[in-house]
Amino acid sequence: MTVRGSGSEGFDAGIAEWLRRRALDPTAADASVEGARRHSVAVNDRSRALLADPFVPADERDERVDAPHGPVRVRVTEPVDREPGATILFFHGGGWIAGDMRTHLQHMRRLAAGTRRTVVGVDYRLAPEHPYPAAFDDCLAATLHAARTAGPDERIAVAGDSAGAQLAASVAIACRDARVPLAGQLLIVPVTDVAGGYAGPDTDARYPSRAERAEGYGLTREGMRWFAELYAPPGEDWRASPLRAPDLSGVAPAIVHTAGYDPLRDEGNAYAAALRAARVRVVHREWTTLNHGFFGLGGVSAAAERAARRAVADLRGLLDG
């Protein structure tokens, strides 16, 4: 199923004003990696403060998961009135170079409250200090640990936004290959094809949104080029480009949400189509008036709030069966 539209035409006016004000934040002027990290913290703190009814968890705690390279820090978010049966592994966005458990705090709380399931956010290693495949390795290790330690009736799902959605999609492929069943995957504005590093004309020509939405709507194509350069994945490896996987059959049922004013729109749409062609059960929604970061902008835009709630409801529906 593919659904398009969010009830109006043109770019969301509330988000346009938000982007104008965001560009004036003092952290926006620093183009370094550390500057990008500080900017991510600043804008996510500001957007979270705008939520009219922020989600409050029953409990949050930091834990560590053993992995081959060393422990991975995770944050466990427990909802009020938790329902048994599933745990969600969440991988944050940030272009593989930024983002953490603070920037995506409300993302995890929204998922926990809306699905009434435990959410385990993975604080994976960031590039350029830890280039590809460090982020993938951490996310997979945390997912496999959750699967190994789950109770007999507990299922595991993966979720993420942007680069985190890429990690979720690739982890879902790896879990299929390892015969570790997942209940589902929620992919919000996913990166799906880094071949060419967002600087290759042949690859970029496949996805018109890379040119149509190259700048002016938050995430830019030049930003994606920089992220890919710092993370440094090989272009054809499905661990970074799930759309390049030779076979997608048998991966977990998927929910894919894309945005009309996002340079990643068309590769996200292409991944939903590829999953469907592989006979994977897919719910795909394209929010035509929204931008790349809509999942965290519920306090900025009523349309973004509706879309974020719909994404969570889609995942809850999948987990509830």
Question: Phi, psi (5° rounding) for residue 112?
Answer: -65, -50
Burial of 62 (0-12, 13-18, 19+ CB in 10 A): exposed
**Helix, strand, coil percent content, the chain, rounded in steps of 5:** 40, 20, 40
Q: How far apart (Å, rounded) are the C-alpha atoms in residues 210 and 73? A: 34
| Residue 6 is a catalytic residue | no
Q: Which member of 6, 162, 209, 301 is catalytic?
A: 162
Q: Which of 123, 262, 266, 314 is catalytic?
A: 262
3-state secondary structure of 197: coil
What is the signed CA dihedral for 129, 133, 135, 139, rounded to 10 degrees?
-150
Query: Is 292 part of the annotated catalytic residue set?
Result: yes
Tell me, yes or no, if 262 is annotated catalytic.
yes
User: Which single residue is written with the structure tokens 């550390």?
Assistant: 34
Omega of the bond prior to 57 within 30 degrees of 0, cis?
A: no
Place of tokens 């996510």: 44
Report the run of H or E that residue 122 belongs to, with start and end.
Answer: strand 118-123
Find out whether 119 and 77 touch, Cβ atoms under 8 Å. yes
Nearest to residue 260, comparing CAs of 228, 290, 232, 283? 290
What one-character DSSP code corresponds to residue 27?
G
What's the CA gap between 176 and 236, in Å, rounded?
19
Catalytic residue among 138, 292, 301, 314: 292
Count of C-beta atoms within a 10 Å radius of residue 223: 17
| Phi, psi (rounded to 5 degrees) for 124 | -70, 160
d(CA 69, CA 125): 11
Residues labelled catalytic:
162, 262, 292
